[in-house]
């Protein structure tokens, strides 16, 4: 899901949906990489404070955070740097980060604990399952998808997470007037997102149909954004409001 895993993707792992296996195509390939001592310590010792175990039981956000603040969910937060900074900058919101990459989860737990940031929680699981089972309709202020794996080869485009079914799922989970904010440094993916979202029922492009956002709003610069800019890539933000 996050670009942490993009460099490790393998075409041999494609599994199309079929009636025999009932397996679905994933938008990520799980390659964990090296976990540092600090990250492993955080996974072992800080999960209880910051982690949300996956289950098919719906979450009560008010109980989870012990407040009535609105909640923002980020899909695929990578190493957690930008999400943690956003949580620091916006203490009036609750944040849930979803990520499958172990070192990234460990890093976020480590720094959240060290910086005493308490308005953030982490789920280490497939975002599609989390949205289907753990998140409830009309409960989220904003959903964020920043620099997802672009799956740039044409034969892998089927792995891209932005599909009509998932767009509908996000729409259902957002509160009325909630926002879906996306960003990518791959122009082809940006154009695909724009086309799909502009025609998605129940969403309005905040910059007008056919236009990318001229602002990244409260989004903090990410590691992958900096890398892309150094390589001469553009960056495209898309912000949609639930109608």
d(C-alpha 30, C-alpha 101), whole Å: 7
Number of Cβ atoms within 10 Å of the Cβ of 42 = 25
Q: Which of 5, 126, 149, 237 is catalytic?
A: 149
Q: Which residues of 112-127 are buried (b: 16+ CB within 10 A; e: fewer)?
A: bbeeebebbbbbbbbb
Nearest residue to 26 (alpha-carbon basis) of 180, 123, 140, 158: 158
d(C-alpha 241, C-alpha 205), whole Å: 7
What letter does residue 193 receive in the DSSP assignment? H
Is position 149 annotated as part of the catalytic site?
yes
Nearest residue to 144 (alpha-carbon basis) of 125, 131, 159: 131
Are the C-beta atoms of residues 152 and 202 closer than 8 Å to each other?
Answer: no
What residues are annotated to the active site?
149
């Amino acid at each position: 899901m996050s670009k942490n895993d993009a460099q490790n993707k393998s075409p041999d792992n494609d599994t199309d949906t079929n009636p025999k296996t009932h397996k679905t195509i994933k938008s990520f390939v799980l390659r964990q990489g090296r976990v540092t001592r600090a990250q492993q310590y955080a996974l072992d010792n800080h999960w209880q404070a910051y982690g949300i175990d996956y289950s098919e039981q719906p979450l009560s956000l008010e109980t989870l955070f012990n407040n009535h603040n609105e909640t923002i969910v980020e899909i695929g937060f990578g190493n957690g740097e930008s999400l943690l900074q956003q949580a620091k900058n916006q203490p009036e919101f609750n944040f849930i980060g979803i990520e499958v990459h172990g070192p990234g989860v460990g890093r976020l737990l480590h720094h959240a604990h060290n910086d005493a940031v308490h308005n953030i929680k982490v789920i280490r699981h497939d975002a599609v399952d989390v949205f289907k089972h753990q998140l409830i309709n009309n409960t989220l202020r904003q959903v964020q998808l920043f620099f997802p794996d672009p799956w740039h080869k044409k034969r892998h485009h089927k792995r891209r997470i932005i599909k009509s079914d998932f767009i509908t799922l996000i729409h259902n989970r957002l509160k009325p007037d909630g926002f879906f904010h996306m960003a990518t440094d791959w122009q082809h993916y940006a154009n695909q997102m724009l086309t799909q979202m502009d025609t998605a029922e129940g969403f309005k492009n905040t910059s007008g149909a056919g236009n990318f956002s001229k602002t990244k709003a409260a989004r903090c610069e990410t590691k992958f954004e900096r890398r892309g800019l150094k390589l001469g890539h553009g960056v495209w933000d898309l912000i949609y409001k639930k109608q």
